[in-house]
Amino acid sequence: MITAVNVKKHFGEAAAVNDITVTIRNREVFGLIGTNGAGKSTFLRIASGVLKPDSGAILVDEKSVYENPAVKADIFYISDDQYFLPNATPKDMADLYSDYYVSFDRVRFADMLGKFQLKADRKINTFSKGMKKQLSVLLGVCANTKYLLCDETFDGLDPVMRQAVKGIFAGELAERDFTPVIASHNLRELEDICDCVGILHQGGVLMQKDLEEMKLNIHNIQCVFQNTQDEQAALGLLEIVKAERRGTLNIITVRGSEKEIMDKINSFSPVFAEILPLTLEEIFISETEVVGYDIKKLIF
């Protein structure tokens, strides 16, 4: 289990990570979602022992990770721009990592390279961005570490490869003690793989929940009321995250269970009321809007 307690990290005067407290349970896929500059990469760099937090602590299996090679032996970190040795081939990188990670599975690595149609003796600097990402994941998986920290790893992977990687993760989760932590902007990709997500904004954690629980507790509603009085009364009863009005149509994002919300709306006999499924992306946008991060302001 990875536990972050009040972790802070400043770069100069800018707070990259500001009081993050989060718990990542073993054997579940943790998604780290965040706006640009939210501190996802910094958090992963702290969690992998690259950076030292200014205050607070990150504990991996209850041990501090910074300058602790024994703990770091259980962590493989794939940065958003993974470094490969100059003129190195996949085989060279496997040699490098096998020096550090004693459980590195060379046989499996060679096998997986074949499956992903990557040549073991081809120079990595001739690889495309996506191929490098694939290679990073394969190296990470074959290192056989308990924790795999992936920073924007799915960016650049084509849909087929994304599914293949997801398949590998699923296989690993089923077979051994494996906990991937995936930071990404690609919320749709996390939606079908993550068990739990943490939403970061401006260095802090807005929320951390199981994905299903999160989906059950926030809903998108389209509704039309018979008159303004009903409308105001109904909306007043709801815990609205976001509200939009198009003519008489209200489009609202509301916290609470589906039944609870619909009961409250139906008590005013609306002309029309319908609950819509929320994607992770919509949840993310809604949650961040609450704290003043309005995606529309950025787009329009």
Partner 1 sequence: MISKNLFFKLIRQDLKKRIWCPIVMFIALFLVLEVRLLMATEDMLNHPDAYAYDLVTFVREDFFGRDMAMLSVVICGAAFLCGISGFAYLHAKTQIDLYHSLPVSRSQLFWSKYISGILQFFLPFVIHTLICAGIAAGRNAFAIGTISSIAVYIGLELLVFLLAYSVSVIAAELTGNMIIAILGTGVLFSYSAIITILVTILFHRFFQSYAVYGRRLGIWISDGVWCFSPLSMILKLFSSPNNTTMEEAEKLYKYDVSYVWFFIMAVVVYSLAAYFIYRKRASEAAGRAIAFGAAEPVIKAMVVIPCSYYIAYFFSVISSDTVSDGWFLFGLIFGFVVLCVLMEIIFRLDIRGAFLHKKQFVFNAVCVALLFIVLKYDVTGYDTYVPADAQIQSCAVSIQQLMPLAQNVRVNEFGVHYLNADEYRMANMEIQGNPSVMELARKAAKEQLAFRYFDYYEGIEESPEYIETLDRQENYRSIAFGYKLLNGKTVYREYYIDIADADTIGLLSDIFGDHDYKIGATPLFNDNWKITFESVYCKNNFQEDSIKLMPDMQSELIETYQQEYMQLTLDTVMHVVPLGTIEFIGEFNVFYSGEMYVYPQFTRTIALLREYGFDMEEKLTADDGATISVQKNNYGETDIVSYTDREQIQQILDNVISEEFSWDISSFAGFFDKQYTVLIHFDAEDSRHSNYYCFMEGQIPDFVK
Give the binding site for partner 1 (CB under 8 A). 11-12, 45, 48-52, 67, 69-73, 75-77, 79, 81-83, 85-86, 92, 96, 99-102
Q: How far is the CB of 69 from partner 1 (least distance, A)?
A: 4
Residue 150's beta-bridge partner residues? 78, 182
Smallest CA-to-CA distance from 223 within 248, 189, 192 is with 248
Q: Which is nearer to partner 1, 55 or 229 (CB)?
A: 55
CB contact at 8 A, 134 and 165: yes
Q: Which is nearer to partner 1, 9 or 219 (CB)?
A: 9
Q: How far is the CB of 92 from partner 1 (least distance, A)?
A: 7
Rounded to 5 degrees, what angle do the CA atoms 36, 39, 45 make?
125
Give the tokens for residue 108: 């499996």
β-strand 14-24 against 63-64: which pairing, if any?
unpaired
β-strand 63-64 against 249-255: which pairing, if any?
unpaired
Instruction: Mark out the alpha helices in 101-238 (DSSP H runs).
Output: 106-115, 129-142, 159-175, 187-191, 211-216, 228-237
Q: Which is nearer to partner 1, 49 or 270 (CB)?
A: 49
Q: How far is the CB of 286 from partner 1 (least distance, A)?
A: 32
Q: How far is the CB of 291 from partner 1 (least distance, A)?
A: 26
Q: How far is the CB of 262 from partner 1 (least distance, A)?
A: 48
What Rg do the C-alpha atoms of the chain give, in angstroms? 22
* Dihedral sign (CA 139, 141, 147, 149): positive
Q: Which is nearer to partner 1, 52 or 106 (CB)?
A: 52
Where b means 16+ CB within 10 Å and e means fewer, 92-124 reads bbbeebbeebeebbeeebeebbeebebeeeeeb
Q: Which is nearer to partner 1, 77 or 127 (CB)?
A: 77
Q: How far is the CB of 102 from partner 1 (least distance, A)?
A: 5
Q: Which is nearer to partner 1, 42 or 208 (CB)?
A: 42
Q: Which is nearer to partner 1, 145 or 220 (CB)?
A: 145
β-strand 147-151 against 75-78: which pairing, if any?
parallel
51 vs 282: CA distance, rounded Å: 32
Q: How far is the CB of 44 from partner 1 (least distance, A)?
A: 9
